[in-house]
Structure 1
Amino acid sequence: MNKITPTRPRASDQMWLDAALELLIEAGVDAVKVMPLAKQLGLTRTGFYHHFRDREALLDAMIARWEDKNTGNLIARCEAYAETICEAMFNLQDCWIDRSLFDAPLDHAIRSWARHDPPLKQRLDQADARRKAAVLAMFRRFGYARGDAEIRAMTILYTQVGYISMEVEEDPARRINRVPAYVELFTGETPSKREIDRFRTRNGY
């Protein structure tokens, strides 16, 4: 009888990157090293270098993933089609509900890393400026004065940063139920039942 030898998983850039991001969230950037990642994945250390030039290249890829996912999706939700400011705000609120759009633990980990990494802090500041500009533009699109739009944008973003930094754990259904009140608070407009129902349905509630 032939003995079956277990095979190693087929490695990919995505596999190494996903594992590195998980480690960043769990233990911080100092824990993101090639050997622990290889052990976690059941791969060889030398195999890592077929996918990334060195650890710095991996770190750069991690930051790029965060920028593309969190900042990119936030901007896209602000620019998504909406007939009213309430509908636009519900589009943005999807980010705080759907982790495939916006990864809050990753955002928290990046902010913690940036405290000790000046170049990353600069990129974080740029990302925050792009997010603010997108939310501000969303309000301007619906006729809000620039000063008013800027205050509303800052309130929304600072509220969410507070949620993230305080690591608030909230029952998903309870948070969904609160979103219409947040939408009214942030916009000064009362969302329609149709708008609320669409938001709840697409988020599984």
Structure 2
Amino acid sequence: MAAIETTIPRAGATGNIKATREDWLNLALETLISDGVERVRVLTLGQQLDVSRSSFYWYFKSRQDLLDQLLDHWRQTNTRFIVERAGRPSATVVRGVMSIFECWVDERLFDPRLDFAIRAWARRSPATRRALDEADEERVNAIRDMFIRHGYDEEDAFVRARVLYFMQIGYYSLELNEPMSSRLTHVAAYLRSFTGVDPSPEDVADFSNYVEKTLSGKR
């Protein structure tokens, strides 16, 4: 989505300043994650951006419009990438689970801080609660379908999907600060536990290489 810029005059300024739709959205996302939805306020955001409120209404109809777009951003990142990874063609079920694991490694695919900001918001907003429930269901169903494609019966596939997905959500909720190097020592056991199949040495090596490449690219 291309950024749209508008020039906002500021009283007493020597020139003009520019604020884009993405400036507002990015700051709103940062505020949602760090301070919660109650702090996502037009006046507060405008003060932080050092622009007038008229800049906001150039891009958004209302605060609710902004909040709706934050929810849409969350769907188009955290949910979309899990569904996409689960739907990828894979030669084996182990490789299918490895594709999903990519979301737990790369926060550009799944941002746990954003997910839990949405979960906190859902505690006070029935509409957000419905959106969250729908997202959880969509994610689990996508993982279930991956298991079904590899020959698991529907109930087994559903339970394995729930265990895989909700274990990771629980891991984030406990805020465990475990180094990735430590987690990688258990990757073969995790893959075996989730699939009932022993991963090959090539599977483990390929995933370790993916992790190393991904984390080095973020430095």
Name the Cα RMSD after superposition. 1.7
C-alpha deviation, 1:158, in angstroms: 1.3
1:30 paired residue number: 38
Structure 1 ranges of 4+ moved more than 4 A: none
The range that moved more, 19-28 or 179-188, is 179-188
- DSSP 3-state at the match of 1:11: strand
Report matched runs for 1:25-174 at 5 Å: 25-174=33-182
CA separation of 1:117 and 1:185: change in aligned 2, threshold 3 A = same
The structure whose RCO (Cα within 8 Å, separation 6+) is larger is: 1
1:38-86 deviation line (CA, Å, top 9, x unaligned): 2222332221111111110000000001111111110000011211111
- Structure 2 segments unaligned to the other structure (5+ residues): 1-13, 214-219
Q: How many pairs are equivalent?
A: 201
Give the Cα–Cα distance (whole angstroms) in 1 for the partners of residues 200 and 131 of structure 2: 38
Aligned residue among 178, 195, 200 for 2:203: 195
**Structure 1 length as normaliser, TM-score?**
0.92
**Structure 2 length as normaliser, TM-score?**
0.86
1:167-192 deviation line (CA, Å, top 9, x unaligned): 22221222233333211111111111
C-alpha deviation, 1:24, in angstroms: 0.6
